[in-house]
A and B are shown apart, each in its own frame.
Chain A
């Protein structure tokens, strides 16, 4: 009989019990289990089959005003009976920290009950034969090019569950599934170059994943559109970012919007709550209650009840992520300690229409390296994409960087699309920025 949620609930509760018996005033236990299966095909051979179940127990301990966290995959009862008291003893060796307290019950009471719909029976029932068939369908479509060198495709599924319990009465659990199909394609380009492209589509539910042949064809198209790529120009011009690439910029923007970064003074949002941090085109909502979302949840890692959290409304910074610890340090009420699903409402046009509006500039299809300073917002990213010519994606370009400051960049946001990328926790639409600095070939 495979382990189920009941077993995980019992394990979490037992860990809390062992911890309090060993002298912890408070304890929070989480028991998890995940089964995953991956199949990978390269060209005409089955290259990899991997199947596994992983289990773990994590424990957060509050002992005499001191705090520590622990995790183990060695779940043998005898091991736990020594691991947990040792963890409590280690905690006693730390210093007191007046900001550390277990999540107060009022933060986890009255959790929402919206149906999140995170479990797909169809994902649980995928057979080995189906995986192989899907790989073959994808690889056939992905190889349909005269310049093909190699295509690698894969199907992976995951079923996860966890249960959490605390010494002050919290009890909660969650179960979810996911499936990913996709692959990458390498073509023979000009000279020594071998341009590559990839496409992966995934969801909590099998029926949300498009047809396998279409996925393979899209991976191929991603590689084929790189053929003939040249070094892009050094210029200041409009930047249109495709939905698939736009999530990267939103993650960078939101990265320092949390109480930990505020408390360590490493956030360019410090002192800007209630102020404009972007053009009024930008609204960003953290949405943990989105049906079928990869990061949907009724409570966060600290047990805090979920709610829709507007981070940015019409360009104004309204909220940041606040966990209980750093919230106490900087005197802010907790919101939630971590990001769930991010949505960007308000767009009325899709990529093609926004390209037409832009007329000329650079279309970014993917990033390569680069970084951003969370304290100042200064950034520089490598990119690939296309020249925008006559309002359409034209010649492919690469070996370019875009450089600037995130706050300045988002103040130059002139449009968001209505075309969010569905295969991510960041549902990013097309983003259009004006007057952006690109570096490439000498003018």
Chain B
């Protein structure tokens, strides 16, 4: 259980991996579409191949799980193999592998959830866990399915050529050596380069009380570059990272050049950077990483669990006009190879595109099955969990804003005096009060409609609905951030991505220093 229930977003600082090219929203494909084939009998061997169990074991677990009734019940099997490397002072300082597997058993009655998990994939252990989870229910048994029927994926958004489990460390080391050398070459002031790599192979199998069986393989990779530079007795460090649901074929020199260039440039500019004045001012958010604004200012507040409980500031705002006509905000699980992409969510519902707001009007929350039933709508494929040890909640996937009618130059010129925000490290929101923050690592001061000097290390604080009303301009340069983000909520973290065109928020409170 978490101590603070506040929601946060951050670049995970623990192990990491890979790269992506700047992805423009317009260019985002939707993966290889496959026909939906429903009701094919589950191949006998998938249970054995993936989890070393039999179909009968799964059915026994389901029967035990629904013995006192259920509106919804499922077994969530997961096998995750993570490989991490810390590369320090020119060599591997630490290489790690982590194998995590188990099954989570959930029994839902109305808004109530009984949950248990076991790492031991035996019929006895599953039945024992099922009995614990079933204790939430007080009704009569549901008839368990006679046969589990495999649902084909509606889309495949992250196929890779070679699964990470088949990629030896000997293929990763040259990549890390190259990246470290590139970073060092960029500037003689660079004194330290540290790289964090991780790659993940994940297999998920969901078997529910209706006999539906869904399988998904989810790759993930990330490379995180930390750089320290020393100049005139001063030190500065900064980071850059790239992440995606990709395989090793994705990482070439172009990607390594991009991420190391970003890390070095973001570090070197800090030597010239200062703080802006403190107080309220216009804030221009540069395209791409500034999608953090959407995540904090509106995204969390549109997750339906907070709304069905009445604890979100957006709880009574669906259908209301909350922003200018050009503001359209989408949360999408179908963008190919994005860190937030999902073929299926963690309840077995197809990944999809959910329009949160369109034409400035709020349209839809993000739902898991519990909230969808509460509101009498279809699930939006947003039910996610950190692992088999965790219950499902509605979560964001890849959140972005569509292009607006202005240009970046027009926006900066229109500002007068304010700041431009370019890179970020983290953000946070209070769902009820609507207050949110994000931390600007790099940016620029705008004076007289022109960028004048670099700024650094300031927190921005605003209120969600107020900010939406204050998005007065948006450019036509939307793109997704190539860095990987991790979102935390109620003690659970999940990978997400985000993007935005250059936008102007006419007034926000900027941390800064006055003389």
Per-position binary interface string of chain A over residues 25-62, scored 1 when its CB falls under 8 Å from any chain B CB and 0 otherwise? 00000000000001010100111111111110000000
Of the 9-residue stretches A86-94, A165-173, A209-217, A335-343, which lies at the interface with chain B? A86-94
Q: Does B309 contact A (CB under 8 A)?
A: yes
A401 and B119 form a contact (CB under 8 A): no
B309 and A381 form a contact (CB under 8 A): no
Q: Does B438 contact A (CB under 8 A)?
A: yes
Q: Does A68 contact B (CB under 8 A)?
A: yes
Q: Does B437 contact A (CB under 8 A)?
A: yes
Q: Does B142 contact A (CB under 8 A)?
A: no
Chain A: number of interface residues, binned into ranges: 35 or more
B112 and A45 form a contact (CB under 8 A): yes
Distance, CA A297 to CA B286, complexed state (A): 48
Distance, CA A376 to CA B274, complexed state (A): 12
Question: Known contacts A42-B309, A74-B119: does B511 contact A403 (CB below 8 Å)?
Answer: yes
Selected contact of B101 from candidates A74, A180, A403, CB within 8 Å? A74
- Which of A192, A196, A437 is most buried by chain B, counting CB atoms within 10 A of its CB? A192
Q: Does A380 contact B (CB under 8 A)?
A: yes
B97 and A369 form a contact (CB under 8 A): no
B432 and A193 form a contact (CB under 8 A): yes
Distance, CA A94 to CA B168, complexed state (A): 11
A94's nearest neighbour on chain B, judged by CB, is B92
A residues with a Cβ closer than 8 A to B are 38, 40, 42, 45-55, 67-75, 83, 87, 90-91, 93-95, 97, 149-150, 152, 154, 156, 180, 182, 184, 186, 189, 192-196, 198, 200, 202, 226, 229, 231, 234, 236, 263-266, 270, 325, 329, 368-376, 378-382, 384, 398-404, 423, 437-443
Distance, CA A401 to CA B317, complexed state (A): 28
Distance, CA A375 to CA B267, complexed state (A): 11
Distance, CA A184 to CA B433, complexed state (A): 13
Selected contact of B92 from candidates A95, A192, A194, A402, CB within 8 Å? A95
Question: Known contacts A50-B116, A97-B91, A192-B317: does B311 contact A150 (CB below 8 Å)?
Answer: yes
A192 and B434 form a contact (CB under 8 A): yes
B311 and A439 form a contact (CB under 8 A): no
A38 and B1 form a contact (CB under 8 A): yes
A329 — which chain B residues lie within 8 A by C-beta?
A: 89
Question: Known contacts A48-B112, A49-B136: does B278 contact A369 (CB below 8 Å)?
Answer: no
Q: Does B280 contact A (CB under 8 A)?
A: yes
Chain B: number of interface residues, binned into ranges: 35 or more
Q: Does B236 contact A (CB under 8 A)?
A: yes
Interface residues of B in 392-440 (CB under 8 A from A): 425-428, 430-439
Smallest CB separation, A379 vs chain B (Å): 7
Smallest CB separation, B393 vs chain A (Å): 11
Smallest CB separation, B225 vs chain A (Å): 12
Question: Known contacts A47-B113, A72-B98: does B310 contact A149 (CB below 8 Å)?
Answer: yes
Selected contact of B433 from candidates A196, A263, A370, A439, CB within 8 Å? A196
Chain A to chain B: the 8 pairs with minimum beta-carbon distance, closest first = A369-B437, A439-B278, A401-B511, A194-B432, A380-B511, A369-B428, A380-B459, A382-B437
B313 and A194 form a contact (CB under 8 A): yes
A194 and B312 form a contact (CB under 8 A): yes
A401 and B226 form a contact (CB under 8 A): no
B236 and A375 form a contact (CB under 8 A): yes
A52 and B118 form a contact (CB under 8 A): yes
